[in-house]
Amino acid sequence: MSDGKAPPRRALAMALAAVALAVLAALAAAQEAPSAGSQATHITVEKDHGRGKTTRIAGEKVLSTEIEIAAPPSTACQATITVSYDQRDTVAAVEGAIDNAVCAASHGDYVVVVTVRDASGDLKTLEFKEAWKRDDASPVPFKAEYKIGPNVDLVRVRPRSGSCACEEAVPRTAP
């Protein structure tokens, strides 16, 4: 090559292909060793010895990753209801409190289920739907008298939760 002539095209193409292959191999070797199934490297060499006499070198790296997505904020909450009760002639006197540890400002509804035994000894269930609302983290006290009728004995009073919703969305905790 000291005579100033350019090298033949075929030799130049082969030299460039070899350099490209060496660069791709070096890049692949420089990468961290793949962890079980998380990444893979693939190099393809295609040669066309037809009229164009081309060589195509392609490198491909497949990466797998795992993304943890946090649950969206929710307005759902879990209210707890405590009650005490006694019978006052034809009414059930009920006192209690509603609390919610998830959020401060919240609202909801619940059902007071009153069971009585009538004069014939049969049990009867009465249901009274109520609503509640609070603006801070303090428990919501309530006091009510529910008509149960004459000639009955109060057997029990149980609250049954209905709905509970926070005024603002709160982040969900991980299980």
pLDDT digits (tens, 9 = 90+) for 85-134: 999 999 999 999 999 888 889 999 999 999 999 999 999 999 999 999 99
pLDDT confidence tier of residue 8, bands split at 50, 70 and 90? low
Task: For 24-39, write each residue's pLDDT tens digit.
Answer: 666 665 555 545 445 5
Strands 79-88 and 123-134 come out as unpaired
Task: Specify whether the CB–CB gap between 112 and 130 falls below 8 A.
Answer: yes
- What pTM value is reported for the model? 0.56
Quick one: pLDDT at residue 128? 97
Residues 6 or more apart in contact with residue 75 via CB below 8 angstroms: 165, 166, 167, 168, 169, 170
- Domains (range + CATH), the chain: 9-63 (no CATH), 74-170 (2.60.40)
Residue with tokens 């491909």: 60
Which residue stretches of the chain are H helix? 9-30
Burial class (CB in 10 A: 0-12, 13-18, 19+), 164: buried
Query: How many Å is the Cα radius of gyration of the chain?
Result: 39
Strand partners, 112: 128, 159
What pLDDT does residue 78 have? 86
